[in-house]
Structure formats: C-alpha cells, structure tokens
Amino acid sequence: MWKGRFNQDMNEAVGRFTQSLDLDWRTVQEDIRGSAAHVRMLAETGLLSSDEALVIERELARIAREAASGEFQPRADLEDVHMNVESLLTERAGEAGAKLHTGRSRNDQSGTTVRLALRREILAIWGGVRALLETLLEKALEHADTIVPGYTHLQQAQPVSMGHFWMAHFQAFLRDARKLLSAYEASDECPLGCGALAGSTLPLDRESTGRDLGFSRISENSMDAVASRDHIIAFHYFAALFGVHASRLSEDLIIYFTSEFGWVKLPDSFCTGSSMMPQKKNPDVLELLRGKCGQLTGGLVDALMMMKGTPLTFNRDFQEDKRSLWRSCDAVKGMLEVMPPLLSEVEIDSGAARRGFADGFIFATDVAEHLVERGVPFRRSHEIVGNAVRWCLENGRALTSLTAEEWRRRAPEAGCELPSLLTPERSAARRDTYGGASPRQVRLAAKRGREKLGLLASEFDDYSANYPELLA
C-alpha cells in the first residue's frame, strides 16, 4: 500500500514480525461494519456516487458473510484485517473499491473497529456479571439465617449471617459492574474521520458515521482520538479488579472447604479427584479462578506500560494493545461461565459451622458491648473480657460456660441475661445496624442490591439497544 514511496519490497521477516492478523482478524465483522458506515457517509457528502456506494456496500455484505462462514481466509502478506478486506473489495468492485479509503487512515479505522468490538465484548460480559450478581443475591437470601464464624486475620472474630458473607462479595462485584459500565462509556466514542492525526481536508460528516455505528458521541480532538487507549485501559481496570475479587471469593471458599474448617460444601461437578489419592476432592475450578487474577492484572500493567512515554500521536506500539485486551476479554468470559452455576450449588453445613463456636471466644465482643450498655466504659469492659478469656484458656473453660454469677464477680454491672445472649443466632441478630450482619439487615441489603442491579441493567439495556447490527 506504500509502494509509491518505497523502492524495495518488505523483508519477509519484517512482514512476519509486523503482521497483526492474529490480533485483529476476530474484529473482521466490526471492520466491515465501520467501512459500510464510512461508505454511506461518503455518498451523502458527494465523495462517492450512489452507484459506487451501492456496489461497495453490496460487496462488503458479501465479504462479511464469507468471513462469517470461513470461506474468506485472510492472507498474511496483507498484514492486517483492514488491508485484507480492502484488497478483496477492490478486487471485486474495481475502481469503486479503490475509493473505500477516501478520507480515512488505518489509525482512525482501527480505532473505530476496536471500539465497536470492545463494546460488543463488554455487552456480552455484562450478561455474565449480571448472572453472577443475581446468583449472589439468591445465595444471600438462602443463607440469611445461617450463622457462621466471621474472620479477621483468618482468626475467628464475630458471628455473621452467611448471607452477609455473600452480600459482601455482591458489593465487590457490583462495583466491578459499574467499572464495566464506565469502560463501555469510555469506548462509546467514534474516532472515524480523525484520519491519521489531523482530520481531513475533505468534507466528511463525522456525526453521520457516529450515528450509523451507534456511538453516543464523536471524539473531540483528532490527535487525542488517535493516540488514546484510555478505553482499553478502562476495560483492563475492570478486568483486573474483577480478577482480584474473583480470587478472594475463591480463596474464601477454598479455605472453608478444607477438612479443618469443613462448613462449605462444593458440588462434585465443579471439583476433581486425584490420580493417586482416592479420598481427594479438589477445588480445581476455584483454584483456576484464583489463578486467572495474575493474567488479568498483567493485562492492565501491559496496557499502561505500552502507553507510557509514547509521543503523540500514533505509534506502532499500539498494535500490541489488542493482545492482552482480547486475552482478558476471553478470560473474563470463561470465568463467568463457571462462577454462577458453581456458586448456586454451594451448600453450607451449619452443624460444622456451629462447631467453630465451641469455645465461645467468638462472643467476647458481645460481652464487652453488653457491659457498655450497662454503663461500663469500653476500655474497661475490653480489659474485663480479655481477662475472662485468659482465665478460660488457663482453666479449660468455654467462655459460654461462665454463669451470670461468675460474670457478676468480674463485673458487677453484668446482667443476669448475659449468658443467654451468647448464642450464634442472638449474637448475629443483635448486629442490626445498617449494613450489619444480622439476618434482617441481610434481607434489607439484598432488596437494595436488587434495586441497584435493576438500575444498572437498565443502563446496559439502553446501550445494547443502540449497538448497530453487523452485516453478518
């Protein structure tokens, strides 16, 4: 395509090194759709005749069908998806096809193609995120009245509703969903018509192509539009944090599934065995979900480092932006295929969870706050209960075995009802502050969560309705 300037053919090794078909052929349908919008605009502005535009559009639709069926196989010597499509079009449409690239550079063409493809990927990923969030809401309501130990430093801390545990992860993934929406909004900007970096001397109608392709706006600055990859980084930011949150949830379940904890039960269909040890039931799916986090975080770092220090505007470094982008898209979609069905089958052994309350130390804060309610300063009540815990450890007693009289000898302010407060159910139920761990608060949180999810779904539905139909 640049034979007019060069007097040597490209070195074969350079051709292999610089080709990008392995990165951009998956966007062939979006590339063709962007070209169709460009052709319509050229006809509207008189830069193409209506007959020329008709021929080009007809052949583009044919090429789209052949690409979808596999009949159209790209040629590596044509370097990328854009030149493969244009070459075949010119071969078939002749002089009219040679006019396709009027007023356009591969810089703004590629930017438009990637934004179209990324928007489609995000809409697909949203379906999985929504299913995950709905599953977590269902699990929260299912286990609202199931009381399990809560942990800090992986040491028993306070009793919580298992529904509260599920809602904690719901909140994290809901934040991820909002980041996914932000990534869509960052991608929802059409750079077509910006050319190589400075726009065009031709009378292009950028608003027309933007509307045709379902973008909500067109880019404001041609240099920034060509040079920016913020929309890709915004997606990587979502993916990296999603990976972190998926890893943390997986780690929680892996730990609670161990024999030492034993109160999470995983479905056989999402576990594997051992080739040597017949008794083993391994949480391989959760481990792989945890393992994907590094890949997704690496994608974010990859994109940030690719952008660092690149001068305005386009640099060939940017070709590599798609390598980690598509890998992260595929990884997230794969994770979301297994997470909702796996979580929906997780069971909680409340009896095993209750065994974790045997020494009663998990109720220490309940005792301290009971004394506060009876007028004891918190620091003094903290010391009283700490001394009681130490005494129990030294004498082999459970904290829950202390009688009301024994408590009154330590703290005269203790009420006779104190021992009856020290049960998992009463302890969790009394944590009834907004956002707290009581079953009542869990149900209220789930209701609020469903409302927030509905509002988010409405925004995604609007974007989905505006996404343009592809030609095949």
Model pLDDT for residues 297-343, shown as the tens digit of each residue: 999 999 999 999 999 999 999 999 999 999 999 999 999 999 999 99
Per-residue confidence band for 159, with pLDDT thresholds at 50, 70 and 90 = very high
Per-residue confidence band for 1, with pLDDT thresholds at 50, 70 and 90 = low
CA atoms within 13 A on the CB side of 171: 10
Q: Give the Cα separation of 329 and 412 in Å (integer).
A: 62
Residue range(s) in the chain whose domain bears CATH number 1.10.40.30: 361-421
Residue 270, pLDDT above cutoff 90: yes
pLDDT at residue 4, rounded to an integer:
59
Per-residue confidence band for 6, with pLDDT thresholds at 50, 70 and 90 = low
- The arithmetic mean of pLDDT across residues 80-96, rounded, is 96
Share of the chain above pLDDT 90, in %: 94
Model pLDDT for residues 398-418, shown as the tens digit of each residue: 999 999 999 999 999 999 999
pLDDT at residue 5, rounded to an integer:
58
Q: Give the Cα separation of 170 and 132 in Å (integer).
A: 8
Residue range(s) in the chain whose domain bears CATH number 1.10.275.10: 12-102
Per-residue confidence band for 265, with pLDDT thresholds at 50, 70 and 90 = very high
Residue 12, pLDDT above cutoff 80: no
Q: Is the Cα dihedral 284, 286, 289, 290 positive or negative?
A: negative
Placement of tokens 């990884």 in the chain: 331
Active site (catalytic) residues: 153, 274
As a dihedral over the C-alpha atoms of residue 367, residue 373, residue 379, residue 380, rounded to 10 degrees, the angle is -80
Q: Give the Cα separation of 205 and 226 in Å (integer).
A: 18
Residue range(s) in the chain whose domain bears CATH number 1.20.200.10: 107-144+160-349+444-466
**CATH of span 361-421:** 1.10.40.30
Q: Considering the chain, what is the average pLDDT of its residues?
A: 96
Domain 107-144+160-349+444-466 - what CATH class? mainly alpha
pLDDT at residue 9, rounded to an integer:
73
Model pLDDT for residues 235-257, shown as the tens digit of each residue: 999 999 999 999 999 999 999 99
Residue 17, pLDDT above cutoff 90: no
Model pLDDT for residues 101-131, shown as the tens digit of each residue: 999 999 999 999 999 999 999 999 999 999 9
Share of the chain above pLDDT 70, in %: 98
- The arithmetic mean of pLDDT across residues 45-65, rounded, is 98
Residue 2, pLDDT above cutoff 50: no
Model pLDDT for residues 91-104, shown as the tens digit of each residue: 999 999 999 999 99
Per-residue confidence band for 13, with pLDDT thresholds at 50, 70 and 90 = confident
- The arithmetic mean of pLDDT across residues 199-215, rounded, is 98
Single-letter amino acid code for the residue at 444: L
- The arithmetic mean of pLDDT across residues 123-142, rounded, is 98
Domain 12-102 - what CATH class? mainly alpha
- The arithmetic mean of pLDDT across residues 151-170, rounded, is 97
